[in-house]
């Protein structure tokens, strides 16, 4: 049996802000605004991977320290062609990198926090 990533699903407080981050900053394409179990949401295409966003459902409590990370979740990894160009673009937009671009064997990486403290890792394979 083999497994392939089908989608990621992110709960957020500010649906429009998170959607706009993915569309305007990460260049995802909006598939549709939709409902997930009665909660407002959006589906996006990020280079072939579906990213679903939604706000809390009726009666659902999203328990999270707004200044911290979610237990059991760490980051979303995104491969880029040019890490330095992505770093410059994101810092120009005001995003702060907790780990600026650095070299590891076979790749370059960097980490930044997007909206609502969602951590993103940028990866660029190098030979």
How does pLDDT run across 91-106, given as a tens digit for each residue? 999 999 999 999 999 9
Radius of gyration of the chain measured on its C-alpha atoms = 15
How does pLDDT run across 68-80, given as a tens digit for each residue? 666 566 789 999 9
- Count H helices, E strands: the chain? 2, 8
If you search the block for the tokens 């407002």, which residue do you land on?
40
Q: How high is the pLDDT of residue 117? A: 85
What residue ranges of the chain have pLDDT lower than 50? none
Pick among 3.10.180.10, 3.40.50.10210, 3.30.1240.10, 3.40.50.300: CATH of 1-56: 3.10.180.10
């Amino acid at each position: 049996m083999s497994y392939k990533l089908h989608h990621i699903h992110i709960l957020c407080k500010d649906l429009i802000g998170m959607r706009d981050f993915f569309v305007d900053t990460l260049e995802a394409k909006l598939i549709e605004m939709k409902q997930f179990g009665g909660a407002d949401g959006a589906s996006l295409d990020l280079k072939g991977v579906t990213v679903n966003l939604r706000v809390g459902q009726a009666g659902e409590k999203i328990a999270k320290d707004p200044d911290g990370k979610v237990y059991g979740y760490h980051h979303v990894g995104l491969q880029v062609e040019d890490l330095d160009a992505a770093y410059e673009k994101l810092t120009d937009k005001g995003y702060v990198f907790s780990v600026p671009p650095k070299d590891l064997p076979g790749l370059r990486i960097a980490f930044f926090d997007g909206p609502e403290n969602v951590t993103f890792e940028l990866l660029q394979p190098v030979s």
